[in-house]
Amino acid sequence: MLKPETLNAFENFCEEAKKQGFEPKIESGWRSFERQLLIWNEKALGKRKILDEMGKLVNRDELSDLECMKAILLWSALPGTSRHEWGTDIDVIDAAAVPEGYEAELSLEESFGVFGKFHKWLDSQIESGNSFGFRRVFLPGIGRVQQEPWHLSYTPEAKKIEENFTPEHLTERLEKSDILLLPKILENLDWILKEHVVCYFE
Ligand SMILES: [Zn+2]
């Protein structure tokens, strides 16, 4: 379900990476609005883990709806704003570095640990403009989403989607869905878009 342009660029990226002994693998690619909605609603119900900014488990029952919404947004996108819905964004690991029997979990520990060499190489590729159109999006110091070095965005196509993104269209989609915490979301939509969405646009 990724855009053919994204896949094509990823193949070229892989070819270059292989020369260095890496084996980039997409851990998470396209995700539907419905899938993101399910994740959101399960978190809002306390059926799925909610983490604070340190990655520590928090208890849903101890959070107001507003606090709950803000906590979910640290690690999960509001449905309709996830870049994984675009077909341009991917979560990537280095399959060549995965130890036998190990299940990648996409964490910072991994990014600086087992996949550290791969990310260092990726840094230098991005810096020198040799990353085949891919860039990192969730970087430290930008917005409120936690740092995600593994998340890559295929810029040429993502840019087009960013340009056509409107709050009105998003509101319409959310109102038509059965999303939980909707009143809090709509009350804070400008803030959410500013801190969690458009600050990551190029
Ligand atoms: Zn991602």
Asked if pLDDT for residue 161 goes beyond 90, the answer is yes
Q: Show the 3-state SS of 74-92.
A: HHCCCCCCCHHHCCCEEEE
Residues with CB under 5 A from ligand 1 (ion): 91, 151
Measured between its terminal Cα atoms, the distance across the chain in Å is 23
Q: What residue has token string 């609005």? A: 33
The CA-based dihedral angle spanning residues 95, 105, 30, 55, taken in that order and rounded to the nearest 10 degrees: -150
Q: Which domains, ranges and CATH numbers included, belong to the chain?
A: 4-200 (3.30.1380.10)
Residue closest to 142 by CA, chosen among 99, 88, 195, 189: 195
Mean pLDDT of 64-92: 96
Q: How far is the CA of 26 from the centre of ligand 1 (A)?
A: 10
Asked if pLDDT for residue 14 goes beyond 90, the answer is yes
Q: How far is the CA of 151 from the centre of ligand 1 (A)?
A: 4
- Percent share of the chain, pLDDT over 70: 100
pLDDT for 68: 97
Cα-based angle 122, 127, 132 (whole degrees, multiple of 5): 65
Q: How far is the CA of 111 from the centre of ligand 1 (A)?
A: 13
pLDDT for 190: 97
Q: How does pLDDT run across 18-72, given as a tens digit for each residue?
A: 999 999 999 999 999 999 999 999 999 999 999 988 889 999 999 999 999 999 9
Asked if pLDDT for residue 146 goes beyond 90, the answer is no
Mean pLDDT of the chain: 96
pLDDT for 24: 98
pLDDT for 131: 97
pLDDT for 91: 97
Q: Can you tell me the distance from the alpha carbon of 28 to that of 82, in angstroms, rounded to the nearest whole number?
A: 12
Q: How far is the CA of 106 from the centre of ligand 1 (A)?
A: 9
**Other residues' Cβ atoms within 10 Å of the Cβ of residue 24:** 23
